[in-house]
Each structure stands twice: as structure tokens, then as C-alpha cells.
Structure 1
Amino acid sequence: MTTAVNRAVFARVSSPYFPILTAIFVGVMLISNIAATKAVVLFDWLQFDLGPLHVNGLVTDGAFFLFPLSYVIGDVISEVYGFRAMRRTVGAGFVVILLASLCFWLSIKLPPADFYGSQSSFETVLGSVPQIVAAGLAGYVVGELLNSYVLVKMKERAGERRLWVRLITSTVVGEFFDTLVFCSIAATAIGISTWSDFINYVVIGFVWKTLVEIVVMPATYAIVAYLKRAEPSYREALEAGATGTTHVP
């Protein structure tokens, strides 16, 4: 029951950083799902055969330069705030991307004005988004949760030591399953129709995302270190853990 008071009352925000990280994560996922509708071939001069794999350039999509950032943010959230916080973030992203897909579908179905001459272009760009969204949702839920789960479980064993090991290991596991699931569903939406291009798409996506994670690891370290110092609850849990009364979440 709510008690009437004669002054303004507001709920406390437990962390000033977690909502920002969640907003950036969800934004990256939303933008990536739209940008990924474009098929991209990089280095089309790169042509060779490797068994059944026929490489004619590196096949990827329009989100290849942005999407790896979601795993960097996911690592930071998992390392500092734990698996439960990452599940909340993944849930928020799921709802927003699903809402975006529904809005795109409704926008396409709405009757266009007589003077609007871009309906077909609008449908071409956003009409494939639902399939990309389905791929993105399936891939990122599986990948991000596996990434977070592996990182947190490794941290429970090693404590604050060997952050680089759990960053790389969790990324390899998460990115592999994310890429495999996403590419399996999204391939036809961006025009991939051969096994060779599909394998190319999966391998390039997985290798690229993993390499990006390794390259930006110094930045990940810096952000994690800053948040561990800045978050009072983390410092308190760390100090309590040192005395044996609790453990870092």
C-alpha cells in the first residue's frame, strides 16, 4: 500500500553505469540487425579453392564492423555485474529488437500515400529484416548467454586472476555458436545460396569477431578496471571476499 507524503520521492538507481552499458548494448544489437541485411564481399581479388570451399572474396554483411562491440560490452557486464545482470541485458535487447521487427512489418503493411514513390525500396530494405531479426535473436541469445556463462564460471574458479583467458575463451565459445546460428538463418535473406559462400560467411564472421575481441582487449581491460574501482558495491564485495565473508558476484 502506498503512503501519501508531502514531498517528492524517487527510487534509487543502484548503478549509474549499468543502464548506460545496457543502452549501448541494445543500440548496437538494433543497428546491427538492420545493417546486416546488406551482403558484403571484401577483398574480391582474394580467390582460391580449399577442398569444397571456393573463396571469391570474403563474404560478410553490413554489420561486420559494429557487431563485435556487443561482445565487448557483454564481457564487461558479465565480468563486473555477473550472469544475472547479463541475462537482464539480453532480455532487454530481445524485447527491443522484437518490437523493432514488429514496427517494420506494420510500416510495410500500412497503405502508402499516392505521392510516396519508395514503397518497393522500403520493402526491399526492411522486408528482410524480420528474417535477419529472427537470426539475430536466436544467435545473440545463444551466443551472449554462453559467452557470459563461460566467463562467469571461469571467474568463479580463478577469481580476479587471468581475465584475458576468460575473455578469449568465452568469446570463442559465444561467437562460434552465435555466428553458426545467425548465419544458418540469415544466409538466404542476404542472397547466400551456395555451401561455399555459407561456409565462407560462417568462418569469416567467426574469425573476424574473435580477432576484434583480441585487438580491443586492452580497452576491455581498461573499462573493466575503471568500473571495478568506480562501483562501490564491487569494492565492498571484493573487500568482503578478501576477509572470507562473501564472494565477488
Structure 2
Amino acid sequence: MAGMSRAPSPNPDVVRFASRGSSHFDVLLALFCVVIVVSNVVATKAIEFGSGSLTVGPVQVWPLVTDGGVVLFPLAYVLGDVISEVYGLRAARRAILTGFAAAALAAFAFFVVQLMPAASWYENQPAYEAVLGPVSQIVLASLAGYLAGQFLNSWVLVRMKQRSAEHRLVARLVGSTGVGEVADTLIFCAIAASAIGITTFGTFLNYFVMGVVLKVGIELALMPVTVRVIAWLKRREPGYFDR
């Protein structure tokens, strides 16, 4: 209406972060922990795409090798990006350490239950050990890679945001993801490879490269969703644009 003044648009050159004491952050944190725990369990299955064999020198080019963790684990980086962008490095650190604790607790429970004597009628102990036995090694690999990758991901994103404020969101999402995923996947594959039966350097290299390509590819495919979720949270977090 004429004569009514509009609220000024938020200054895009100001670096802002929302308070983590909101229900939105709680939901993101819960999802983050579930993704980490479930990814560690499904990562015990080795996956191979293709048949036959193609090698270049010592490197296996075909078939392509990965593990079940690739299905869900990229969402951990999507959620990490959202938390880092909206809530900042301190909130991201809390999410990372909480996810670490949840994964460690799950691995401890699997290990203790495996050692407990099975009932006389229980016939699935070998299957339990085959599926959940490697989880401890997978969790060790995941936690080592996860800590390095997630902290690098959050650190790079927040540092880039401190330089560009509300500008260049996609650039910092892509840049932080690339750095974090390469570090994470290299450390994870180095520790976890033997747990899923990888014994040669050529197969290991295939496993590492496939892991990076698939994880980064999934995150890039989800980028439009990530950007929209971040924009939605920024509009609805009390005080974000008041800072």
C-alpha cells in the first residue's frame, strides 16, 4: 500500500549464523547421527558394478568397486554443509562429535553382543558375525576418515563464508565437499579395504576413486535440494537475518 515502508533487505555482505538452540538444529543433528550409524553397518557389504576384468598396469579399471556406505553416507556431508552454513563451525563441531559418539556406541554394542553366548536354538551366529563382525573395523575407518573429512569440510565452508558472507554459496558447498570427501575417502578406504576383502593395490585404487566420484557426484546431484534447504532454514531460524 502507498505510504507504507518496506522492511530493508538483509545485507548480503554480513556474515551470519543462527543459534543452534532451535528445534531445526535438533532434527538435523538426529538425522546426522542416524546417517552415520546406518552407513557404518551397510558399508560392510562390498559392491561390484560390471563383469569381466580390465586393468591398466597394476590398476583395476573395471569392474567398479565400492561398498554399501556410498548409498547413504554422502547425506552426512549434505547435512554437515547445511549445519556449517546455517549454524557455524561450533555447531558443526558438536554435530560431528555427537555422530562420532553414536557410531562408537553402536560398534561397541555390536561387539559385545557378538561375544555373548548364543542361545542353543539360535542358528544365525555365523551370519551375525559375518555381517556385523567387520563393523568395528569399518567404524574405526569411518570415524578416522569422518573426523578428518567432516572437520575439513566444515572448516573450509565456514572460512569461505567469512570471506564471501551470503554470496557464492554453491562455490563454498562444492569446494568444502571436494576437500572433505577426498580426505575422508582416502583414510576410510585405507583402513576398511581389508575388512571387505580388498587385497591388491589396483583394486584399492579403484575403490578409492569410485568412492570419491560417487560421493561427490551424489552431493552435486543433491546440490539444488541443499541450497533450498539452507535458504528455507535461514528464513525460518529466529534471528538469523537480524544479526
Same fold (TM over 0.5): yes
User: d(CA) in 1 for partners of 2:79 and 2:33?
Assistant: 10
Q: What is the aligned counterpart of 2:172 among 129, 149, 166?
A: 166
CA separation in 2, counterparts of 1:54 and 1:43?
12
Which residue of 51, 54, 72 corresponds with 2:60?
Answer: 54
Match of 1:119 among 125, 132, 144: 125
Is 1:212 aligned to 2:218, yes or no? yes
Partner of 1:144: 150
Summarize deviations over 1:142-174 as a string: whole Å, max 9, x none: 100100000000000011000011011101100
How many residue pairs get aligned? The number is 224
Pick from 88, 94, 101 the counterpart of residue 88 of structure 1.
94
2:43 to 16, 36, 46: 36
Give unmatched runs, 5+ long, in structure 2.
1-19
Partner of 1:5: none
Identity %: 50
Q: Secondary structure at the match of 2:23?
A: coil
Q: CA RMSD in A?
A: 1.1
Normalised TM-score (structure 1) = 0.88
After TM superposition, give the deviation of residue 16 of structure 1 in Å: 1.2
Q: Is the 8 A contact 1:147 1:170 kept in 2?
A: yes
Q: Is 2:109 aligned against 1:103?
A: yes
* Structure 2 length-normalised TM: 0.90
Aligned to 2:13: none
Give, in angstroms, the shift of residue 20 of structure 1.
0.3
- Bigger mean CA deviation after superposition, 153-162 or 210-219: 210-219
C-alpha distance in 2 between matches for 1:130 and 1:14: 33
- Partners of 1:155 and 1:50 in 2: CA distance: 41
Alignment deviations for residues 99-129 of structure 1 (CA, whole Å, 9 cap, x no partner):
1111111101111110111111111111110
For residue 17 of structure 1, give the secondary structure of its aligned residue in structure 2: helix
2:28 aligned partner: 21
Distance 1:159 1:151 in 2: 11
Distance 1:96 1:195 in 2: 32
Q: 1:48 Cα deviation (Å)?
A: 3.0
Instruction: Give 1:63 shift.
Output: 1.7
Query: Is residue 2:166 matched to residue 1:198?
Result: no
- AA matched with 2:33: V
Give the letter aligned to residue 64 of structure 1. Answer: V
Task: Note if 1:175 corresponds to 2:192.
Answer: no
- In structure 1, runs of 5+ residues without a counterpart are 1-12, 238-249
| CA–CA distance in structure 1, aligned partners of residues 76 and 21 of structure 2 | 23
Q: Say if 1:44 and 1:58, in contact at 8 Å, map to a contact too.
A: no
